[in-house]
């Protein structure tokens, strides 16, 4: 998207460098079952500013005092967790790269979440692109916003996740944590912060307190950096009997509280009305089914990684829905192919990643990006192509 950098990168690219990049990325970690793109995205200043403005518009709604009341029905009763705090510690906003009627590149919101993403890993990913492809030779590029660098970003990440606790009192938790596709982020995070990575069943409960064993010694947990999506264990709730049930009153602090996963999600989309957000309606609130359904996409509220999304919507798809309050109909956005690969142009999506420390304002820190040739942008839908997959946006540094 910055032509001079794209030209320089493509001219110097080789498959040998890409293999070196993957080797460097995975060095010290087990192989990652995710496809990473051959290239970063070079984000121009004008588009970066539009991304910042788009994110600010969403933040304005989330920070509204009425937001909790507006999203009270977002949390499924069977997954409500007590002890919710005032705000999420993490925010992620996904934007498609599109063109407006005047031909300018613009971001269009696709989804959003009040849940952690690959914060630590994206720093590692950006550093690896810059090192292996020698990008420091063409410009001083950064994946960070707001003048941040790796030091200030790490300090803020530490403040949000650890707070006043010692590293051993905080655990990153997921179900079968080491087996998750995104486990590399878990272990990069652990390396930076010194916290343990635990599976759900590594944790046990005594009264209202939670513990784990380290070298045979019982360690009390005070915070959980939560990476567990409850939908993933809906059919494995016996795991709670082997560990603890998050829906009980517990003496634990959640970073971030699980209820925010539902509050800030596809459920939030119909509440957002601005130029960066496509028209979105709860199916239960449709006055009539649009005649031009080819211009819409149908999404279940409670799903992840694009599962259950219907791209080519029919009237029958809508009338067959059993719980219309749990689905949204969203006007499609037209991704503009803008990243030049050796054999053509590729579509892109940018995820803005915010950290929100207790007692402070949310801060836009870093980004995640994905390249796609298929109908769906997610990594799982692009396994059989090249020059697609997970990547990062690099911008000209202000420093």
Q: What percent of the chain has pLDDT over 90?
A: 88
Query: Does residue 188 sit within a domain?
Result: no
Q: pLDDT at residue 5 above 60?
A: yes
Ranges of beta strands (E only) in 238-396 are 253-255, 280-282, 296-300, 327-331, 339-341, 344-355, 363-372, 389-391, 393-396
Q: How confident is the model at residue 399 (pLDDT cuts 50, 70, 90)?
A: low
- Pull the structure tokens for residue 262: 């539902």
- Mean pLDDT calculated for residue range 68-85: 94
The pLDDT value given to residue 308: 84
Across the chain, what does the average pLDDT equal? Answer: 94
The pLDDT value given to residue 349: 97
Name the one residue in this structure whose structure tokens are 């142009």: 345
Query: Does residue 197 sit within a domain?
Result: no
Q: Is 189 helix (H, G, I), strand (E, B) or coil?
A: helix
Q: pLDDT at residue 166 above 90?
A: yes
User: Cβ-count burial of 42 within 10 angstroms (0-12 exposed, 13-18 middle, 19+ buried)?
Assistant: buried
Q: Which of 138-147, 352-361, 373-382 shows the lowest per-residue confidence on average (mean pLDDT)?
A: 373-382
Task: Dump pLDDT digits (tens) for 299-351.
Answer: 998 766 567 889 999 999 999 999 999 899 999 999 999 999 999 999 999 99
Query: Does residue 132 sit within a domain?
Result: yes
User: Positive or negative CA dihedral for 322, 326, 329, 334?
Assistant: negative
The pLDDT value given to residue 306: 60
- Mean pLDDT calculated for residue range 135-143: 90
Q: pLDDT at residue 375 above 60?
A: yes
Which stretches within the chain are classed as H helix? 3-12, 15-26, 45-62, 67-70, 119-132, 150-162, 183-193, 238-242, 259-263, 315-319
Q: How many CA atoms lie within 13 A of 250 on its CB side?
A: 24
Q: What is the dihedral of CA 52, 56, 57, 60, to 10 degrees?
A: 180
344: left (phi over 0), alpha (psi -120 to 50) or beta: left
Domain count, the chain: 1
The pLDDT value given to residue 305: 58
User: Cβ-count burial of 385 within 10 angstroms (0-12 exposed, 13-18 middle, 19+ buried)?
Assistant: middle
Query: Does residue 30 sit within a domain?
Result: yes
pTM for this predicted structure: 0.94
Backbone dihedral angles phi then psi of residue 196, each to the nearest 5 degrees? -75, 150
Query: Does residue 181 sit within a domain?
Result: no
- Pull the structure tokens for residue 382: 């692009």
Query: Does residue 191 sit within a domain?
Result: no
Interhelix angle for 119-132 vs 150-162, to 10°? 160
Query: Does residue 307 sit within a domain?
Result: no
Q: Which domain holds residue 106?
A: 3-147+260-278+333-396
Query: Does residue 265 sit within a domain?
Result: yes
The pLDDT value given to residue 382: 57
The pLDDT value given to residue 138: 80
- Taking the C-alpha atoms of residue 392 and residue 37, their distance in angstroms, rounded to an integer, is 9
Task: Dump pLDDT digits (tens) for 325-338.
Answer: 989 999 999 999 99
- Pull the structure tokens for residue 332: 């499609």
């Amino acid at each position: 998207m910055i032509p001079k950098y794209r030209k320089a990168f493509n001219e110097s690219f080789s498959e040998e460098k890409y293999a070196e990049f993957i080797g460097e990325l995975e060095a010290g970690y087990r192989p990652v079952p995710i496809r990473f793109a051959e290239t970063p995205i070079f984000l121009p200043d004008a588009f970066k500013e539009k991304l910042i403005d788009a994110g600010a518009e969403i933040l304005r709604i989330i920070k509204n005092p009425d937001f909790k009341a507006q999203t009270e029905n977002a949390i499924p009763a069977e997954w409500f967790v007590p002890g919710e705090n005032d705000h999420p510690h993490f925010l992620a906003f996904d934007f498609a790269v599109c063109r407006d009627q005047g031909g300018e590149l613009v971001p269009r919101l696709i989804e959003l979440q009040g849940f952690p993403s690959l914060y630590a890993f994206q720093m590692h990913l950006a550093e690896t692109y810059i090192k292996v492809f020698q990008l420091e030779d063409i410009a001083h590029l950064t994946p960070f916003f707001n003048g941040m660098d790796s030091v200030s970003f790490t300090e803020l990440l530490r403040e949000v996740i650890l707070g006043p606790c010692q590293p051993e009192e905080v655990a990153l938790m997921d179900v079968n944590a080491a087996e998750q596709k995104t486990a590399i982020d878990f272990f990069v995070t652990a390396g930076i912060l010194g916290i343990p990575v635990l599976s759900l069943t590594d944790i046990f409960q005594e009264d209202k307190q939670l513990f784990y064993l380290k070298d045979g010694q019982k360690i009390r947990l005070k915070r959980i950096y939560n990476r567990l999506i409850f939908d993933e264990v809906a059919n494995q709730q016996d795991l709670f009997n082997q560990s603890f049930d998050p829906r009980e009153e517990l003496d634990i602090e959640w970073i971030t509280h699980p209820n925010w996963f539902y509050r800030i999600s596809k459920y939030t989309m119909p509440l957002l009305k601005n130029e960066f957000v496509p028209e979105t309606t709860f199916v239960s609130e449709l006055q009539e089914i649009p005649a031009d359904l080819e211009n819409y996409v149908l999404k279940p509220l409670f799903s992840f990684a694009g599962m259950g999304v219907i791209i080519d919507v029919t009237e029958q798809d809508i009338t067959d829905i059993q719980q219309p309050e749990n689905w949204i109909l969203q006007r499609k956005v037209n991704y503009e192919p803008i990243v030049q690969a050796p054999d053509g142009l590729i579509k892109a999506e940018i995820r803005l990643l915010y950290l929100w420390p207790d007692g402070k304002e949310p801060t836009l820190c870093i980004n995640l990006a994905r390249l796609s040739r298929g109908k769906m942008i997610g990594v799982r839908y692009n396994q059989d192509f090249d020059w697609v997959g997970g990547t990062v946006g690099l911008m000209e540094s202000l420093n």
